[in-house]
Amino acid sequence: MRHFAILALLFAPVFPVIAQHAADQPETVMITFRAKPGAEDELGRVIAQHWTAATAMHLLSDTPHVTVRGTENGKTYFVDIFTWRDAHTPDAAPAEIRKIWSQMNRLVESRDGRPGLEFAVVSVLAPQPR
């Protein structure tokens, strides 16, 4: 137990640096939007507006971006995949981006016990050889 305490004291100053380094790394996210009936087209426009604004503000990494639209049980959903410049970016989003997020929230609904907006941090895999 004494050795653990000594190791903790030795490495304690390193942990904030490691955490900071991880936060400075790009963060790829996958967001699922469950569109309210009748709001599908508007939600698609707002998702595109978000991409345009975030790109113009240099909040995103220069990596592939994809938005797809599908239906589940006759209801529309969208999935948007992109990479933030770093993990801190969404926590310190400019007012213009937060305003777009507010619009998104207004256009989605919870379904089957799942939220209207669902976020996941994901990893992009290299394409597999054919």
pLDDT tens per residue across all 130 residues of the chain: 444 444 444 445 544 444 444 668 999 999 999 999 999 999 999 999 999 999 999 999 988 899 999 999 999 999 999 999 999 999 999 999 999 999 999 999 999 999 999 999 999 887 767 7
66-72 β-sheet, strand order? 66-72, 75-84, 27-34, 117-122
**Selecting from 3.20.20.190, 1.20.1260.10, 1.25.10.10, 3.30.70.100, what CATH number does the domain 26-122 have?**
3.30.70.100
